[in-house]
Structure 1
C-alpha cells in the first residue's frame, strides 16, 4: 500500500512540474537548452503560450490563441514547420512568428515578446498579462 501511495505522489509531482518554467519575480525564465523545434506549451495563471525553435535557430514565442479565434479556446498545434489554428485550420510558418503578427489582429498566434539573458529565454509577466483577454 505504501508503495502505491509513493508511486502516486511521484507521478503527481512529475505531472505538476511538466511544462513549468522558473519564475523570477517579474518574469519567467525558460532554459534555452529546453527549447527545440518541437513546440512546448506553457501556462501562467490561465494564460497559455508556446515556445519553439525555428529551422534557422531563432526562438519563437506566441500566445496559444489569436485575436479572431480566441473565443473557441482551441489554440494551436504544430505540424512540421507550421503552427495550425485548431479552430479555423489556418497554417502559419514558425519562421514567421513574431514578424507579421507583432501588432495584433487577425488569426495569427498572438505576439509575445521575449529577450535572452545568459542561458535563459526571459518572458516578462506584464507581457504575458497583456494577452489575458484571449483566455
Structure 2
C-alpha cells in the first residue's frame, strides 16, 4: 500500500490529467498514452496555465512516460504560443519532465526542452519521478 498523498484533480481530458500538489507548490501533469487531437492537447495546456495563475505557482512536474510523440504542429504551438504565454502571463519558470518510454517521444521532448531553454525556461529531464519531484522542490517559487 502506498503512503503517497492523494492529490486533487484540477482538470482531466483524453490527453492527460492535471493534479495540484499544494505541499510542493507545483502542478502534476500526467500525459496519457492516448492519441490526441489538437483541441484536446491545447485544452490540457491552457488549463496548466490557468492553474499556475490560480495558485501563483511557477512549477510543473510533467510525467511523459506513456505520452505519444509531439507532432510538428504541437511542438511549434507550444514553443511559439503556449510557452511564451505561460511564462509571461502565468509565471511558469521550472519544469521537471519524466521522460517518455518511446524513442520518438523522447526525441520530441528533447527538441522542446532544448528550444525552450533558449527562452529562459528552466527544464530538467529525469528517468524517475522521485528524482524529478526532488529537483522541482528545490527550485525557487
TM more than 0.5: no
With structure 2 as the length reference, what TM-score do the two structures score? Answer: 0.32
Q: Structure 1 length as normaliser, TM-score? A: 0.33
Using CA pairs under 8 Å that are at least 6 residues apart, name the structure with larger relative contact order, 1 or 2: 1
